Amino acid sequence: MSIKQEFRGLKGLKKQRRVQIIALAVVALIGSTALIGYAMQDGINFFRSPTQVVEDPPPEGEVFRIGGLVVDGSVKRGDGTEVAFAVTDTNATVQVRYVGVLPDLFGEGEGMVALGKMEAGVFQASEVLAKHDETYMPKEVVDALKEQGVYKDPNAQPEG
């Protein structure tokens, strides 16, 4: 075998090894992306306004967040820590049920966000979050109210 043929053989081996490494890297990247997506699927909860829930109801059992204003006069306390109330974005209203201790700042006419799922047309909340001071409102709730054209900034100076 001549030196020229040996050199061609080595060159072919290098090229083959490079293709194998690239293929292995692509497979590893696809595998890791799939594992990350699978691991995160339970951790991603989409936000929906009451209008979005009414107009395009999510599938039963899908966990998501809903937010808006607690409807005045809608809070009904049941046995123990069971609470039922309605949440609105002033365009649509969704009934909510929650078993647990509500945050101290939870109240009628106040902004809130709840995590849970729809069951038989009622949002079953597993967690309820309320604003943490008198001027704060969750960003998602503010965005939903602005979309409806009814948001009033509590920090805005009165005109006149």
**HSE value, Cβ hemisphere, 13 Å, CA-based, for 15:** 6
From the CA atom positions of the chain, what is the Rg in Å? 27
What is the mean predicted confidence (pLDDT) over 131-140? 60
pLDDT at 101: 87
**pLDDT per position as a tens digit, 1-12:** 565 666 566 677
Q: What is the pLDDT of residue 160?
A: 47
β-strand pairing of 64-70 with 47-48: parallel
Would you kindly state where each structural domain of the chain is located, as residue ranges? 1-44, 47-148
Place of tokens 């309820």: 128
pLDDT higher for 31 or 157? 31
In which residue are the tokens 């038989």 written?
A: 120
Q: What is the mean pLDDT of residues 116-135?
A: 81
Question: Is 41 or 27 the better-scoring residue by pLDDT?
Answer: 27
Q: What is the DSSP string of 38-63?
A: HHHTTT---EE-HHHHHHSPPPTT--
Q: So what's the architecture of 47-148 in CATH? A: Beta Barrel (2.40)
Nearest CA to 133 among 115, 148, 154?
Answer: 154
Tell me whether residue 96 is exposed, middle or buried, using C-beta atoms within 10 angstroms of its C-beta: 0 to 12, 13 to 18, 19 or more. Answer: buried
Give the end-to-end CA distance of the chain in Å, rounded to a whole number.
98
Residues pairing with 95 in the sheet:
86
Please determine, for residue 15, whether its predicted confidence score (pLDDT) is greater than 90: no
What digits encode the pLDDT tens for the residues 78-101? 888 889 999 998 889 999 999 988
